[in-house]
Amino acid sequence: MKPIVKIGTWWFFPKHVIGMTLFPFVFIDKNWASKVDKQTYQETIIHESIHIRQQLELLIIPFYLWYGIEFLIRWIGGNKNAYSSLCFEQEANANEYNSDYLRKRKFWVFIKYLKIK
């Protein structure tokens, strides 16, 4: 499924956020999008599209629950990089440069990125 991309200024974005996926939409910060090259923009769309697939695999609401619980476990456990340590973010970060990734991606592959430290 291709995401529905919306570019704008979003009141719900923290200052450092450039993109966010809320199924089936990908919200991209307008100021950031106007400053980056086409390649960086495309990598961001791939990253967020991976999140769309993850959300579909977990039937959307459970994705957000898992995301929040995993974040809390890592954050409470003292992980200063709790966000970037999430299995969902690890998968998206590792594969955002591969335009073929979603075609070849296996079901629930984000599990292999689940490393509790």
Please report the pLDDT score of residue 32 as a whole number: 96
Please report the pLDDT score of residue 117 as a whole number: 58
Identify whether the C-beta of residue 28 lies closer than 8 Å to the C-beta of residue 19: yes
Please report the pLDDT score of residue 65 as a whole number: 98
* 111 pLDDT tier (thresholds 50, 70, 90): very high
CA–CA dist 78, 102 (Å, integer): 33
pTM: 0.94
Percent of all residues in the chain with a pLDDT value above 70, rounded to a whole number: 98
DSSP of 92-107: HHHHTT-TTHHHHPPT
Would the pLDDT of 116 be above 90? no
From 35, 47, 56, select the one nearest 101 (Cα to Cα): 47
Average pLDDT, the chain: 95
Give the pLDDT confidence of 73-107 residue by residue, as tens digits.
Answer: 999 999 999 999 999 999 999 999 999 999 999 99
Other CB atoms within 10 Å distance of the CB of residue 111: 10
CA–CA dist 108, 114 (Å, integer): 11
Would the pLDDT of 53 be above 90? yes
Write down the domain spans for the chain: 4-113
Q: What is the mean pLDDT of residues 26-36?
A: 96
